Amino acid sequence: VPVRDIHHLGVAVDDLDEAVETYRRLFGAELEHRESVADQGVEAASMRVGGGRVELLAALGPDTPVGRFLAKRGPGMHHVAFEVADVGAELELLAASGAELIDERPRRGLFGLQVAFLHPDATGGVLAELVSRG
Ligand code: CO
């Protein structure tokens, strides 16, 4: 699958305000967007860090994907997001090549992006996200 860039790294955090402030103070990161998505159980802050981007993710409750991740592993690296031209088209290529997908089709992700996740078993234990601009 042709990847344009690493779009962002996703990091699970316990306290979003504190994490935003830490990235600002330590790395000069700037808050790009902040959004709460109730049906995904997550509040996220997209931080510009130099030419890159870190997506800080806090759980809206324990029984959410990020909440379960935090309970199991604690705060830390959650996923890597690869930017592609068209998530739908790339998903078909990945499915045809036998990659294990979490999302069979693109869905609306944070910040108006089209996204889909691959199963960590497909990528050596790292949750991978495909992103294209909505
Ligand atoms: Co992401």
Question: How many whole angstroms separate alpha carbon 39 and alpha carbon 49?
Answer: 28
Other Cβ atoms within 10 Å of 102 Cβ, number: 14
37: CA distance to ligand 1 center in Å? 13
Cβ–Cβ under 8 Å, residues 11 and 23: no
Mean pLDDT for the stretch of residues 59-63 = 97
- pTM for this one? 0.93
66: CA distance to ligand 1 center in Å? 11
Element (H, E) at 20: helix 16-27
Q: For the chain, give the mean pLDDT.
A: 95
116: CA distance to ligand 1 center in Å? 9
Query: Does residue 110 have a pLDDT over 90?
Result: no
Query: Does residue 121 have a pLDDT over 70?
Result: yes
Question: How many whole angstroms separate alpha carbon 126 and alpha carbon 133?
Answer: 22
61: CA distance to ligand 1 center in Å? 18
Query: Does residue 72 have a pLDDT over 90?
Result: yes
Query: How would residue 134 be classed by pLDDT, with cut points 50, 70 and 90?
Result: low
